[in-house]
Amino acid sequence: MGLRVGVVGGGQLARMMIAPAVELGIDLRVLAEEEGMAARLAATSVGDYRDAATVLAFARDVDVVTFDHEHVPQSVLHALVDAGVAVHPGPDALQYAQDKLAMRARLEELGMPQPDWAAAASAAELQEFLDAHGGRAVVKTPRGGYDGKGVRVVSAATEADDWFAALAEDARGGALLVEELVDFGRELAQQVARRPNGDVVAWPVVETVQRDGVCAEVLAPAPGAGERLTAVAARLGAEIASGLGVTGALAVELFETRDERLLVNELAMRPHNSGHWTQDGAVTSQFEQHLRAVLDLPLGDPSPRAPWSVMVNILGGPVDGTLEERLPAALAAHPDAKVHTYGKAPRPGRKVGHVTVSGGDLDDVAYDARAAASFFLG
Amino acid sequence: MGLRVGVVGGGQLARMMIAPAVELGIDLRVLAEEEGMAARLAATSVGDYRDAATVLAFARDVDVVTFDHEHVPQSVLHALVDAGVAVHPGPDALQYAQDKLAMRARLEELGMPQPDWAAAASAAELQEFLDAHGGRAVVKTPRGGYDGKGVRVVSAATEADDWFAALAEDARGGALLVEELVDFGRELAQQVARRPNGDVVAWPVVETVQRDGVCAEVLAPAPGAGERLTAVAARLGAEIASGLGVTGALAVELFETRDERLLVNELAMRPHNSGHWTQDGAVTSQFEQHLRAVLDLPLGDPSPRAPWSVMVNILGGPVDGTLEERLPAALAAHPDAKVHTYGKAPRPGRKVGHVTVSGGDLDDVAYDARAAASFFLG
């Protein structure tokens, strides 16, 4: 019998698990939202991940269920667990990726460094937080946000009126999350993977560059990160993974403040854009590691293969034609660029691929990666 | 429209094209010999590659046809070409991989260094060659041999009587190939890839270690290979690729004689066992490069990612159970080992997977790779 991993969700994260699955002899099966998705080669079922019967039927033929995204409802996750299915990460961990208020509260219990925050159930409570934090703050919808969606910087409580109105209509009710506006120097991301047996490994902390709330590029390792920062970030990642009971890959998005503190911004309990560089730049990629972790196999060496790797997202893609049509020019100009496409139609702002370059000189590597990615735009 | 590559043959070489195809956005379609083969994930057809109608039907939906092996008959290859299908490598190149006598004759025309050789149509001709070469020689069946099959060291012409008898019954008739027994110090392999437009790139020459005529391990680059040897081997590979009109990957197996000459032993016009180290140890793997070459895309950087990579074949596999059952122990002991399995049932002598380790110290890397591979044996 082989090792069978079922992935709920057919996006690019599931797609990028295919390569390591084939090489390690893992039978990867994907429950895709529709036909023709990024992970179509491994899609064995098409159906609605919010429907317990659909997901249970899919899970019958695999050894473990894992995820391309964090949107599978708790009721479905618990139905899987109740049916005896191994689910990694499990519902108890995923709740913290699904509800940012729960995440903030749990990180506080764990003593993790994070921005000042509060649950604001009303405009009055939001205004109170604003008044106490210099009149500006970040407001987030606790559920359903990603890539900058559900995040808003406000300087008056009225600017969140529509979200409060939506909350009032939501049967689950609740509050908005409000956070201090951190004066950060840059954003970092710490990736770790954790097995069910508790073992954790950490990749070196990376710098992430965001544009319009979306990850544009990643520099690995984070330039200027000394031993202390690297160790502190790795420990943070491991403590959060253990504290939240995460199994599989975990990305901890961090603010590095101008006074050199690290504060937890967001969490992702799956392979994450900040770790795409590991496909080409590390001994063990985040996709291989995630598969190993959810199967409770020993974790691989996360060491970088080169002093520097830079990953640049292809956002939107060509305004006409396909990414594949741009390959000849890009590959001709940049023989060292590793181009990854997601099999998705170009659309403004959509993540349709990425390029990674590794080497000994950060400036050269970053230049090459950006230049290669630019061939797929415009 | 995407880039569609059709691979005839469903073995591990086709399987290992899946990973780079997914990442580059290439639609890989495999014509497998039967259900459940190594490349089953990409298999879109099952059928007999010796049947022109089967292969023509398969080729209808792809942009280029390439191969997992070199056994597709010339008549089928020509039927494809006649139907306007792009075939890489083409029949004119493949004839030299299919017929070792034709290969020797063509390499002689090209002035390539090779062992003394002759076509022996009878035991008398073979004996004549033996008498002129110290009484021992290597006899090969020109067609159909691989992994040591169809190769025999003889010291009397009678030792090839069965092959002469078989030739007499073969409608194509012909002769055996007889070659001098080269007093080599070691065996090397030079891998190159060539586009239809004529561009060629070369990986560094590697050392291959054979046991019982089968590749056991590969050291990359070849230890002690200086600039001169590296350049001579790369030029040899490029000249043979161009001279034979090879498109796609070409492996040139070489003898390094004790007096430091290189002599061509065998050719393989496809990704080859001697190049498996490139999956983990080079910027561009042989599998990605082969796909790029047959699609006439610009070729990638063949530079090593580490000073040393050692690839060790898993020959035969476990005497009981599956490779996957051995993964936990192997991965626990060797977190830096890249394990590749072929999805094939263990069987004595069968290539069922390989392990590659890369790093800065050759002895350490070789030890780790051998130790990791040993977990899958016995």
List the pLDDT tens digit at each of the 378 positions of chain A. 469 999 999 999 999 999 999 999 999 999 999 999 999 999 999 999 999 999 999 999 999 999 999 999 999 999 999 999 999 999 999 999 999 999 999 999 999 999 999 999 999 999 999 999 999 999 999 887 655 678 999 999 999 999 998 888 876 778 999 999 999 999 999 999 999 999 999 999 999 999 988 999 999 999 999 999 999 999 999 999 999 999 999 999 999 999 889 999 999 999 999 999 999 999 999 999 999 999 999 999 999 999 999 999 999 999 998 999 999 999 999 999 999 999 999 999 999 999 999 999 999 999 999 999 999 999
A98, part of any domain = no
pLDDT for the residue A150? 86
> What CATH number does the domain containing A349 carry?
3.30.470.20
Measure in Å the smallest separation between the Cα of B273 and chain A Cα atoms.
Answer: 15
CB-CB under 8 Å, A19 with B41: no
Q: Name B28's bridge partners.
A: B5
- Taking an 8 Å Cβ-Cβ cutoff, which residues of chain B contact chain A? 1-3, 15-16, 18-20, 22-25, 41-42, 279, 283-284, 292, 297-301, 303, 305-306, 322-324, 327-328, 331-332, 335-336, 338-343, 353, 358
> pLDDT tens for residues B314-337?
999 999 989 999 999 999 999 999
CB-CB under 8 Å, A323 with B24: no
pLDDT for the residue A55? 98
What are the C-alpha distances in Å from B176 to residues B92, B142, B160, B163, B168? 21, 6, 9, 8, 11
Q: Kindly state whether residues A193 and A161 are assigned to the same domain.
A: no
Measure in Å the smallest separation between the Cα of A28 and chain B Cα atoms.
Answer: 10
Residues of B in contact with A22 (CB under 8 A): 15-16, 18-19, 41
> Nearest by CB to A298, which of B19, B42, B332?
B332
CB-CB under 8 Å, B284 with A24: no
Q: Kindly state whether residues B122 and B147 are assigned to the same domain.
A: yes
Domain count across chain A = 3
Cα(A161)–Cα(A163) distance, rounded to whole angstroms?
Answer: 5
> Nearest by CB to B297, which of A16, A327, A358?
A327
Closest chain B residue to A357, measured at CA: B283
CB-CB under 8 Å, B284 with A23: no
CB-CB under 8 Å, B24 with A15: no
B73-97 average pLDDT score: 98
**Residue A75 is encoded by which pair of tokens?**
């009721």
To test the contact with chain A by mutation, choose from B277, B288, B324, B325 the residue with the greatest count of A C-beta atoms within 10 A, namely: B324
pLDDT for the residue A66? 98
Angle CA B192–B278–B316, to nearest 5: 110
Measure in Å the smallest separation between the Cα of A251 and chain B Cα atoms.
Answer: 21
**Residue A101 is encoded by which pair of tokens?**
């208020």
Q: Kindly state whether residues A163 and A310 are assigned to the same domain.
A: no
CA B234 to chain centre: 17
Length of chain A: 378
Residue type present at position B96 = Y
| Least confidently predicted of A100-109, B50-59, B208-217, B288-297 | B208-217
Per the CB < 8 A criterion, the answer to whether B31 and B55 are in contact is yes
The answer for residues whose C-beta is within 8 angstroms of residue A63's C-beta and 6 or more apart is: A3, A4, A5, A86, A295
Is the pLDDT confidence value at B173 over 80? no
B75, part of any domain = yes
Domain final position from B135, B165, B180: B180
Domain final position from A67, A87, A107: A87
Q: Kindly state whether residues A189 and A173 are assigned to the same domain.
A: no
Is the pLDDT confidence value at B362 over 90? yes
Q: Kindly state whether residues B175 and B190 are assigned to the same domain.
A: no
Residues of B in contact with A303 (CB under 8 A): 336
> Nearest by CB to B301, which of A24, A303, A336?
A336
Cα(A33)–Cα(B100) distance, rounded to whole angstroms?
Answer: 52
CB-CB under 8 Å, B297 with A331: yes
Per the CB < 8 A criterion, the answer to whether B318 and B377 are in contact is yes
Residues of B in contact with A306 (CB under 8 A): 305
Residues of A in contact with B369 (CB under 8 A): none
B99, part of any domain = no
pLDDT for the residue B146? 58
CB-CB under 8 Å, A42 with B298: no
Measure in Å the smallest separation between the Cα of B364 and chain A Cα atoms.
Answer: 15
Closest chain B residue to A2, measured at CA: B324
A41, part of any domain = yes
B240, part of any domain = yes
> pLDDT tens for residues B19-62?
999 999 999 999 999 999 999 999 999 999 999 999 999 999 99
Q: Kindly state whether residues B257 and B351 are assigned to the same domain.
A: yes
Q: Kindly state whether residues A127 and A78 are assigned to the same domain.
A: no
Residues of B in contact with A340 (CB under 8 A): 23-24
Cα(A25)–Cα(B324) distance, rounded to whole angstroms?
Answer: 7
Per the CB < 8 A criterion, the answer to whether A100 and A74 are in contact is no
Measure in Å the smallest separation between the Cα of A134 and chain B Cα atoms.
Answer: 47
Domain final position from B180, B208, B224: B180
The answer for residues whose C-beta is within 8 angstroms of residue B225's C-beta and 6 or more apart is: B188, B204, B205, B233
Give the DSSP letter string of B57-124.
Answer: HHHTT-SEEEESSS-S-HHHHHHHHHTT--BSS-HHHHHHHH-HHHHHHHHHHTT-----EEEE-SHH
A19, part of any domain = yes
> What CATH number does the domain containing B133 carry?
3.30.1490.20
> What CATH number does the domain containing A45 carry?
3.40.50.20
A275, part of any domain = yes
The answer for residues whose C-beta is within 8 angstroms of residue B13's C-beta and 6 or more apart is: B68, B69, B270, B271, B287
Cα(A1)–Cα(A122) distance, rounded to whole angstroms?
Answer: 55
First to last CA, chain B: 48
B74, part of any domain = yes
Q: Kindly state whether residues B167 and B293 are assigned to the same domain.
A: no
Measure in Å the smallest separation between the Cα of A60 and chain B Cα atoms.
Answer: 20
pLDDT for the residue B148? 63
Q: Name B309's bridge partners.
A: B220, B358
Q: Kindly state whether residues A190 and A308 are assigned to the same domain.
A: yes
CB pairs under 8 A between A and B: 116
Give residue A284's region: left, alpha or beta (phi > 0; psi -120 to 50): beta
Q: Kindly state whether residues B26 and B156 are assigned to the same domain.
A: no
> Nearest by CB to B24, which of A1, A16, A339?
A339
Q: Kindly state whether residues A154 and A192 are assigned to the same domain.
A: no
Measure in Å the smallest separation between the Cα of B301 and chain A Cα atoms.
Answer: 5
Q: Kindly state whether residues B173 and B236 are assigned to the same domain.
A: no
> Nearest by CB to B343, which of A25, A332, A335?
A25
Helices B100-109 & B227-244, crossing angle to 10 degrees?
Answer: 110
pLDDT for the residue B1? 46
Which structural domain, as residue segments, surrounds residue B199?
A: 184-374
